[in-house]
Chains A and B, each alone.
Chain A
Amino acid sequence: KAGVTQTPRYLIKTRGQQVTLSCSPISGHRSVSWYQQTPGQGLQFLFEYFSETQRNKGNFPGRFSGRQFSNSRSEMNVSTLELGDSALYLCASSSTGTEFEAQYFGPGTRLLVL
């Protein structure tokens, strides 16, 4: 069974631009979560989607948004990029997104904002 895939793997953008990242979960998984990883803040939860609905959201500004499609693939969008948005963005999938299941992560998208 294929794992979680994320595209693109690397991105370079300039301040003020917007970016869209994509995540395809493990086949059959309906929950997708997004995390931001930076050297200073570590791994922080962005949001979680299940069956096209956002169920949970972390403490990030409204510039960070996401959506999920009917095939469970998810996209994350960051508008008006700031230097501090440079990070590794990871998505994770699980079958139903409950606290009783292990979550499986993709390889991440490394975003550099210049």
Chain B
Amino acid sequence: KQEVTQIPAALSVPEGENLVLNCSFTDSAIYNLQWFRQDPGKGLTSLLLIQSSQREQTSGRLNASLDKSSGRSTLYIAASQPGDSATYLCADVNQGGKLIFGQGTELSVKP
């Protein structure tokens, strides 16, 4: 059974700090990995999609990496801001586009 794990479940940091969110997956034949952000009570916002042939993707202050051999992905957030507070979810993108999600990391950035 394919599983995705995100540790820690919650993280609190002061504003301005750089931080890394972790995602582990058991799918050795992973196609792609997608990172999302979810604000309380809201839907998911797509942040980055990393294809299996890539090692990383960048968008603004966000950088995501993918290491298939170790079954790990990381999301790096530079110079964190209070507006970055949200739950961050990673998803293993299966054949046919089916997403297998981790449980998420709830990030709180304190002013």
A-to-B contact residues, CB < 8 Å:
4, 6, 31, 33, 35, 42-45, 48, 55-56, 58, 88, 90, 92, 94, 97-108, 110
B-to-A contact residues, CB < 8 Å:
31-32, 34, 36, 41-46, 49, 51, 89, 91, 93-104
Q: Is the CB of B93 within 8 A of A105?
A: no
Number of A-B contacts (CB under 8 A): 68
CB distance from B31 to the nearest CB of A (A): 4
Asked, given contacts A43-B89, A107-B42, A110-B41, whether A99 binds B101 with beta carbons under 8 Å apart, the answer is no
CB distance from B109 to the nearest CB of A (A): 23
Q: Is the CB of A105 within 8 A of B97?
A: no
Residues in B neighbouring A101, C-beta threshold 8 A: 49, 97
Q: Which of B32, B44, B100 contacts A45 (CB 8 A)?
A: B100
Q: Is the CB of A45 within 8 A of B42?
A: no
CB distance from A107 to the nearest CB of B (A): 4
Q: Is the CB of A99 within 8 A of B89?
A: no
Residues in B neighbouring A106, C-beta threshold 8 A: 43
Q: Is the CB of A100 within 8 A of B32?
A: yes
Residues in B neighbouring A100, C-beta threshold 8 A: 31-32, 51
Q: Is the CB of B46 within 8 A of A105?
A: yes
Alpha-carbon separation in the docked complex, A79 to B93 (Å): 29
Residues in B neighbouring A56, C-beta threshold 8 A: 96-98
